[in-house]
Chains A and B, each alone.
Chain A
Amino acid sequence: MAQSLQNQVAFRRVADALLLSSGGRSVKLRIPASAVPADPSEQLGLAVPQFEDVELSPATFRNTSAKIAEGKATQRDLIVSASAIETLTSSTAFGSAESLFASAFGVLIDDRLLTILSATEMEAGGAVFAYRLTLREPIANAP
């Protein structure tokens, strides 16, 4: 058991080192503040939540492997360290990575806000070491 936990920690450290050495950078996750319990104002659209930008690091933005299709918004991949996500989920009301990504408004990369289309766990040795996010660029309006 102890050996398994040590292995999981080791996998994460290796993953973080790899992310840092392969163009590691920080991005920001834009998340809404927690909803107000038993207050119908937000449910009715009368009040909107505050948003905050939370830094995620290390992350690798795969700028060159975009999926481009005519008439559709470009999709790109972002790989984020599981350590960064775990820190965030333990300090906010979002109990799991899944609910965090589902509630997030998007990822801010170089002042561009990209929408999260999907989030996939990357696993090795029984430990999640990173998350792969598929992001959609903003849809360009016709000139």
Chain B
Amino acid sequence: MQRAKDTFYIALRDRIAALNPARTAWVRGIVRPAVLIEENELAGDFPPLNAFRLRWTALEAYPHGPLPLVKMRCEIRYATAGNPGNGGMDRGRMMAAMDAEIAQALTEPPQRVLKTDYATPAAPQPQRTNIFWGDVQFGAIAANGEQLERTASVDVYSYQETSER
């Protein structure tokens, strides 16, 4: 399952970086693509704005079949307060831009990518099967003070290969 989570993150990060290279976040002194996995970052009370934060939630396993199928739900949380230079009055437009980026990144064909093991010390190791995902579902916008917040979610599927068990 971890390999599927890692592979999905890398695929989404690279697609967002290709769609909008300016979508970056300042994380511990460096600038990197603004796609973060919450559980791999310091727990903090200042989630970065204008960035996509991935949170893995539901998990279902279907053990029947030659290889067990696993379905994991990935919630993608993002928020914006607009541009401070514009008094935050463009926050609706900035939220729409983020909606469009995440929709395009997740619905652009192919909605699959070869599963890869990124934990090998030498180099990422391609696996035998793909991970694939369904269409993205957008939650309602929530207004939190000057911030607009939204959670999108997508179901990610992968087969548990023998080497993962």
Q: A: which residues have CB within 8 A of B?
A: 32-37, 40, 42-46, 49, 92-94, 99, 101-103, 105, 115-118
Q: Which of A40, A94, A115 has the most CB of B within 10 A?
A: A40
* CB proximity to A under 8 Å, residues B11-30: 13, 26-30
Cα(A42)–Cα(B46), bound, Å: 19
Q: How many residues of B contact A (CB 8 A)?
A: 21
> Are the C-beta atoms of A44 and B40 separated by less than 8 Å?
yes
Cα(A40)–Cα(B36), bound, Å: 11
What is the chain B residue whose CB lies nearest that of A34?
Answer: B29
Cα(A36)–Cα(B45), bound, Å: 23
**Which of the residues B27, B30, B118 comes within 8 Å of A40, measured between beta carbons?**
B118
What is the chain A residue whose CB lies nearest that of B28?
Answer: A35
Q: Is the interface of B mostly helix, strand, loop or mixed?
A: mixed
**Which of the residues B6, B26, B27, B28 comes within 8 Å of A44, measured between beta carbons?**
B6
Q: Is B42's CB within 8 Å of the partner chain A?
A: yes
What is the chain A residue whose CB lies nearest that of B13?
Answer: A43
Q: Is B32's CB within 8 Å of the partner chain A?
A: yes
6 A-B pairs with least C-beta separation: A93-B29, A45-B40, A34-B29, A35-B28, A102-B46, A35-B30
> Are the C-beta atoms of B45 and A35 separated by less than 8 Å?
no
**Which of the residues A32, A34, A37, A99 comes within 8 Å of B42, measured between beta carbons?**
A32
> Are the C-beta atoms of B45 and A43 separated by less than 8 Å?
no
Extra inter-chain contacts (7) besides given A40-B10, A43-B13, A44-B40, CB under 8 Å:
A32-B42, A40-B118, A42-B40, A43-B32, A45-B40, A102-B44, A118-B45
